[in-house]
Amino acid sequence: MKKILTPEEAVENIHDGAIIMAGGFMCCGQALRLADALLAKGSKDLTLITNDAGFPDGGMGKLIVAGRVKHLIASHIGLNPAAGQKMNSGEMRVDLVPQGTLVERIRCGGAGLGGFLTPTGVGTAVEEGKKKIKVDGRDYLLETPLKADFGFIKANVCDTMGNGFLAKSTKNFNIVMAMASQHTILETDRLVKRGELDPEQVNLPGVFINAIAHEGKK
């Protein structure tokens, strides 16, 4: 059985300067309660790895607006004006990574791989500072793995062993981020007892989960 905590308890050990992976696309499939709890806790100088900068008034976007994120690694930032402002002023470092490359770098981190080769970005600003390797006469970039100290993952339902069901598009980055985080916190809308979740619905195995965040903590 995993630790079952309130969102506030789940983020207690997140230190200043931590690297956090947050699943979801904008606020869809994002651990919104964990984001709010971390904002209230006051952790700062964070490195945030996520698909996007979110909205200024929702989820992980609130941390960016509040100046808690010093380094953002994401595929786009367009719907959070604060992200662009902080990037241009130098207040926040922003690494923009093509979306497919971003998720594959995270998958490599979770799978214990040393990286992967991709033609995406060759001949553009994306290749700056990266090793270029030629295979069968074609140039590829070596993209290195991404890992995190903490993962904020969201499930529609999970059991007390941490086995989770993530519906439809909410799977997006959540599953690979659970694998690539040293301490993965699973926020769930509904918590059930062991054996109550149909094994055919489990798309996130509890082996990747360290703690469960649930407002109705038992």
Predicted confidence (pLDDT) per residue in 55-67, tens digit: 999 999 999 999 9
The answer to whether residue 125 is domain-embedded is: no
Flag whether 30 is in a domain. yes
- The two tokens of residue 142 are 């070596």
**Pure H helices in the chain:** 7-10, 32-41, 61-65, 81-89, 99-111, 174-180
* Residue 42, domain member (yes or no): yes
Structure-token pair, residue 88:
């241009």
Mean of all residue pLDDT scores within the chain: 95
Question: How many domains is the chain partitioned into structurally?
Answer: 1
The CATH number that applies at residue 91 is: 3.40.1080.10
Instruction: For strands 164-165 and 148-159, give the pairing.
Output: antiparallel
Q: What would the two tokens of residue 218 be?
A: 């038992």
Non-local (6+) Cβ contacts of 112 within 8 A are: none
| Domain presence at residue 218 | no
pLDDT, position 217: 59
Assigned domain for 127 exists: no
Enter the pTM of the model: 0.95
Dig out the tokens for 59 from the structure.
């989820």
Query: Residue 174 and residue 181: Cα distance in Å, rounded?
Result: 11
Q: Please write the tens of the pLDDT for every residue from 58-102.
A: 999 999 999 999 999 999 998 999 999 999 999 999 999 999 999
* Domain presence at residue 27: yes
**151, 173 Cβ separation under 8 angstroms:** no
CA-nearest of 131, 154, 150 to 210 is 150
Asked whether residue 124 is domain-assigned, the answer is no
Tokens for 191?
């918590």
- Helices then strands (H, E): number in the chain? 6, 12
Mode of pairing for the β-strands spanning 69-74 and 93-96: parallel
Q: Name, in order, each residue with C-beta under 8 angstroms of 130's C-beta and a sequence gap of 6 or more.
A: 121, 141, 142, 143
- 127-186 pLDDT, tens digit per residue, is 999 999 999 999 999 999 999 999 999 999 999 999 999 999 888 899 999 999 999 999
Domain limits at 89? 3-119+132-213
Is the pLDDT at 218 greater than 60, yes or no?
Answer: no
> Has residue 126 been placed in a domain?
no
